[in-house]
Amino acid sequence: MTQQEFLRRRAALLSKMAPASAAVIFAAPEATRSNDSEYPYRQNSDFWYFTGFNEPEAVLVLIKSDESHNHSVLFNRVRDLTAEIWFGRRLGQDAAPEKLSVDRALPYDHIGEQLPLLLNGLDVVYHAQGLYPEADSLVFAALDKLRRGSRQNLTAPATITDWRPVVHEMRLFKSAEEQAVLREAGRISALAHTRAMQKCRPGMYEYQLEGEIQHEFNQHGARFPSYNTIVGAGENGCILHYTENECQMRDGDLVLIDAGCELKGYAGDITRTFPVNGKFTAPQRAIYDIVLESLNTSLELFRPGTSIREVNAVVVRIMVTGLVKLGVMKGNIDTLIEEQAHRQFFMHGLSHWLGLDVHDVGVYGNDRDRTLEPGMVITIEPGLYIAPDADVPAEYRGIGIRIEDDIIITAEGNENLTATVVKEADEIEALMAAAKA
């Protein structure tokens, strides 16, 4: 992202703030993995949205004096030679104004004394209460100090408002720069799924395919997945968020892979399901084709003016109709839909927002009936999961299939960001056969 992009976002937030107000946005704290070892640091998505700054112990304060005067202050860690030898470079205060396009940078250790001065005399403070305990402590301590300082002509803001509803509505609509990054995240994620199909063999372990996926991410500049990779073979594909990835893949099994890379903070999110040996059985293919029809129909329907709820209703009818034809479900199609009998086999939503978070922020509306608009980015992920003990014909038990693509809603319809990894059953079989040749 360019600095102009971050400045545009800050200006957009400031334009929605009341006069005589400040928004206080905290970086994510570090998370301990074991004893004195931390997990790789991952910045809070909202803080990243406004700064692109990937250090902990940082706070962005945006101050709006009136409609024409505002300024920005960053609190961040001081330069420390010893700490930097052990843990890596810090930006410090001298470089921050130019690097991050802020008006001032102050040491994070000084926030206790400086934050009250920044908030003094304002009417409103925007703060995400309950997000981080330390953030609450610092903000409330600053307000308390101002309230107790009336004899020194100190005045505390009378109103505390959560900035998240405003910011999350902003994040819902992706700019051209964001769309370009999401497009590349989709491309890299698609390459990883293609590699997994090409490398898959009976007898491999799920974690070995996970390794192939991670390899492809890294080869293209994406160090981390955007969520824990799911590689579920056989019955494990019926577990929606299966992440153990420890089982050996057997000849005749399907394997469901739900994986996406994180690139510059933005998420890819793809699911493909394919036969471990490269050839679908007839029952597997029958269920697969129902899910594929659901996805392809969704790709045709999603456009401005539609909603996730509307398209989901079409998908449910496709699924119920297909399962009744196979004898997996029994009864009148309309009655089964009205009774939501499909929830036994399709128990999650069709789509979710995608962006800096894999399950991105933004209001969905009542039962996901929000009208879609250009710039929104969503997943499409129909799936059917037939439990091993389900009361269905035996040949369908233990089959779990999900197929997922990512799309941008455009003025003309939608753009599929992840179309470059095959999903037609015949194309999957051809790709896997060619890899063995």
Chain segment 204-235, per-residue pLDDT in tens: 999 999 999 999 999 999 999 999 999 999 99
**Residue-level pLDDT at 18:** 97
pLDDT confidence tier of residue 151, bands split at 50, 70 and 90:
confident
What average pLDDT score do residues 83-92 get?
A: 96
Which band of pLDDT confidence, cut at 50, 70 and 90, is reported for residue 315? Answer: very high
Which one is catalytic: 57, 210, 381, 406?
A: 381
Give percent above pLDDT 70 in the chain. Answer: 100
Residue from 184, 385, 405, 406 carrying the catalytic annotation:
385
Catalytic: which of 183, 352, 396, 429? 352
Structure confidence by residue, pLDDT tens digits, 38-59: 999 999 999 999 999 999 999 9
109 is catalytic: no
User: Taking residues 382-394, what's their average pLDDT?
Assistant: 98
What does the pLDDT read at residue 150?
Answer: 81
pLDDT digit string, tens, across residues 237-293: 999 999 999 999 999 999 999 999 999 999 999 999 999 999 999 999 999 999 999
Active site residue 359: yes
Contact 26, 57 (CB under 8 A): no
Q: What is the pLDDT of residue 160?
A: 98
Whether 402 sits among the annotated catalytic residues: the reply is: yes
Q: Which of 147, 241, 250, 343 is catalytic?
A: 241
Distances in Å between the Cα of 143 and the Cα atoms of 19, 119, 152 are: 18, 8, 14
Q: Which listed residue (80, 147, 348, 426) is catalytic?
A: 348
The pLDDT of 360-375, averaged and rounded, is 96
- Say whether 215 is catalytic: no
Among 240, 208, 237, 246, smallest CA distance to 227 is for 240
User: Confidence band (pLDDT; 50, 70, 90) for 68?
Assistant: confident
pLDDT, average across residues 345-364: 98
Ordered structural domains, the chain, with CATH: 3-170 (3.40.350.10), 173-436 (3.90.230.10)
pLDDT of 437 over the 90 cut? no
Per the annotation, the verdict on 348 as an active-site residue is yes
Collapsing DSSP states into helix, strand and coil, what is residue 174?
coil
Given the residues 343, 359, 424, 427, the one annotated as active site? 359
Annotated catalytic residue within 404, 405, 406, 429: 404
* 241 catalytic per annotation: yes
Q: Which of 57, 206, 269, 357 is catalytic?
A: 269
pLDDT at 180 over 90: yes
Q: pLDDT value at position 69? A: 86
The closest alpha carbon to 294, from 348, 234, 254, 255, belongs to 348
The answer to whether 254 touches 273, Cβ cutoff 8 Å, is yes
| pLDDT at site 436 | 93
Q: Cite the DSSP H helix spans in 52-156.
A: 81-87, 92-100, 111-119, 133-147
pLDDT for 140-150, tens place per residue? 999 999 999 98
* Residue 167's pLDDT band (cuts 50, 70, 90): very high
Q: What is the mean pLDDT of the chain?
A: 98
Mean pLDDT of 75-99: 97
Give the total residue count for the chain.
Answer: 437
- 406 given a catalytic annotation: no
On the question of pLDDT at 7 being above 90, the answer is yes
pTM for this prediction: 0.96
CA dihedral over 139, 144, 147, 151, signed as positive or negative: negative
Greatest distance between any 2 Cα atoms in the chain: 84
